[in-house]
Amino acid sequence: MEIVINGEKLEIPIDVATVSELLQHYGLNQKVVIVELNNEILEKGNHQETLLSNGDRVEMVHFVGGG
Amino acid sequence: MSERYSRQELFTPIGVKGQERIRNKHVLIIGAGALGTGSAENLVRAGIGSLTIVDRDYVEWSNLQRQQLFCENDAKKRLPKAIAAKNRLKLLNSDVNITSLIADVSVEELEQLIDGVDLIMDATDNFETRMIINDISQKHNIPWIYGACVGSYGISYTIIPRITPCLHCLMEDIPLGGLTCDTAGIISPVVQTVVAYQTVEALKILVEDYEALRNKIVSFDLWKNEHSAIRVAHVKKDSCLSCGTHRTYPYLSYQNRTKTAVFCGRDSVQIRPAVKTDRDLAQLEKILLAQKGEIERNPYLLSFTIGSHRLVVFKDGRAMIHGTNDISVAKSLYHRYLS
Ligand SMILES: [Zn+2]
């Protein structure tokens, strides 16, 4: 499946079907993350059940603490 | 001197009028590490009226790679960052009224520092302090600008009370102690990019051009060439305990605030006494002379090296115990040598 992540068209592995799995794929599942799917911010509770489809546009921002 | 800000005044969104506004503003920077020194330099060069900068740490050699106000001499002398930063900033612009404070910022310090401040710049290295800043910002209706970085990744977001979501809305209820410690190092271009995102928003706020604000949380990875921005306006939660209708400012009322803090990735623990004291460092030096450790002292702190540990005591009574990230080890060293 091809999706647009942070403005870049990327091919994601076949076993990545949900937003949760996408976060896991990018090593962001332990982080505090804001995910926007097709211009809508997802509630954290919905990451697990939200399915991705071809051509989706995803923006991901994760919080870090250093300064 | 009238030439000083000419290029900034030629920039139409600021102009002569904007420059006057900048001149009349007071900015508080929490932290004088990488982000804090960058923001401070930009704002002082831009000609703000007053700057207050607070930091709990002292300059070490590992800071010089990215903390732009410090030089080798500061590291040699282990000058507190607040002092070293002020020394340099005064050379950059003698017109700015600069106040610096050596302190670990918590609720009571922030309540005192906030008086007359127009904007708070976040340059801390932890979310415990950021959540306190966030609540103070809401309580006193003062904007603040979050900034953070690790590795080649950076992030920034501007919080305007009553208008934008606050940090608590965005992060929800996070277990503050549970956030993983980032130990991926840091490269200076990332620091400077976060500083640029923070200080451009600061200038917009200082000249009161609120229309120009970004309104997005922005993040980037300079090594991986990635960039992301999310419009978060509608994430503002009416149920938020920091900015909602029934707000309680939970991070201000937290009674059992930690007295010890492990410094992320630095093999160091800070111990903060329950009651603030004015520690007599000369007296302490006399006592420690009986021990076989090595003592160094400057007007602000005393450093005592014993075996593989180094204990640094500040005049406000705080101690940093280097060479361990075990709180119980740190506490026993503290009690043995410093109490
Ligand atoms: Zn809020």
Q: Tell me the nearest-neighbour CA distance from A48 into chain B, angstroms.
A: 18
State the CB neighbour count (10 A cutoff) for residue B212. 14
Q: Do residue B227 and residue A41 have CB atoms under 8 angstroms apart? A: no
CB B149 within 8 A of CB A66: yes
State the CB neighbour count (10 A cutoff) for residue B255. 4
Q: Nearest Cβ partner of B235 from A8, A41, A59?
A: A41
Sequence-separated (6 or more) residues with CB below 8 Å from residue A12: A1, A2, A3, A22, A25, A52
CA distance B321 to B308: 11
Q: Tell me the nearest-neighbour CA distance from A19 into chain B, angstroms.
A: 16
Pairs of CB atoms within 8 A across A/B: 77
Q: Do residue A65 and residue B150 have CB atoms under 8 angstroms apart? A: yes
Return the percentage of chain B with pLDDT > 70, whole number.
95
Architecture of domain B259-337: 2-Layer Sandwich (3.30)
Residue of chain B nearest A38, judged by CA positions: B230
pLDDT for the residue B147: 98
Identify the burial level of B200 via C-beta atoms within 10 angstroms of its C-beta, where 0-12 means exposed, 13-18 middle and 19 or more buried. Answer: middle
**What is the ipTM score, two decimals?**
0.93
Which of B71, B166, B181, B243 is catalytic? The answer is B181
Cα–Cα separations (whole angstroms), residue B124 to A29, A38, B105, B270, B323: 24, 33, 9, 15, 22
Q: Nearest Cβ partner of B34 from A30, A41, A67?
A: A67
Judged by CB atoms within 8 Å, which residues 129-188 of B form the interface with A? 130, 147-150, 153-155, 170-172, 174, 179-180, 182, 186
State the CB neighbour count (10 A cutoff) for residue B331. 17
Q: Do residue B155 and residue A32 have CB atoms under 8 angstroms apart? A: no
**Domain ranges in chain B with CATH number 3.40.50.720:** 6-256
CA distance B73 to B267: 24
Residue of chain B nearest A4, judged by CA positions: B228
Using a CB–CB cutoff of 8 Å, tell me whether A41 touches chain B: yes
Domain-wise residue ranges, chain A? 2-62
* Spatial strand order in the sheet of A57-62: A8-11, A2-5, A57-62, A33-37, A40-41
Using a CB–CB cutoff of 8 Å, tell me whether A9 touches chain B: no
Q: Say whether pLDDT at B178 is over 70.
A: no
CB B259 within 8 A of CB B320: no
Closest to B129 measured CA to CA, from B75, B179, B189, B194:
B179
Q: Do residue B186 and residue A44 have CB atoms under 8 angstroms apart? A: no
pLDDT tens digit sequence for B64-112: 999 999 999 999 999 999 999 999 999 999 999 999 999 999 999 999 9
pLDDT for the residue B45: 98
pLDDT tens digit sequence for B234-252: 999 999 999 999 999 999 9
**Residues in chain A within 8 Å Cβ distance of B134:** none
Half-sphere exposure of B295 (CA within 13 A, CB side): 19
**Average pLDDT estimate for B5-20:** 97
Q: Roughly what angle, to the nearest 10 degrees, separates helices B188-206 and B34-45?
A: 40
B241 alpha carbon – ligand 1 mean position (Å)? 7
Three-state secondary-structure class, residue B186: strand
Q: What top-level class would CATH report for the domain B6-256?
A: alpha beta
CA distance A58 to B303: 50
Q: Say whether pLDDT at B299 is over 90.
A: yes
Q: Do residue B179 and residue A59 have CB atoms under 8 angstroms apart? A: no
Is the CATH code 3.10.20.30 the one for domain A2-62? yes
**Domain ranges in chain B with CATH number 3.30.310:** 259-337
Q: Say whether pLDDT at B1 is over 90.
A: no
Using a CB–CB cutoff of 8 Å, tell me whether A34 touches chain B: yes
**Average pLDDT estimate for B120-139:** 95
Active site includes B166?
no
CB B190 within 8 A of CB B224: no
Concatenating the DSSP letter of every residue in B290-326 gives TSSSEEEE-SSEEEEEETTEEEEEETTS-EEEES---
* Model pTM score: 0.93
**Residues in chain A within 8 Å Cβ distance of B230:** 34, 36, 41, 59, 61
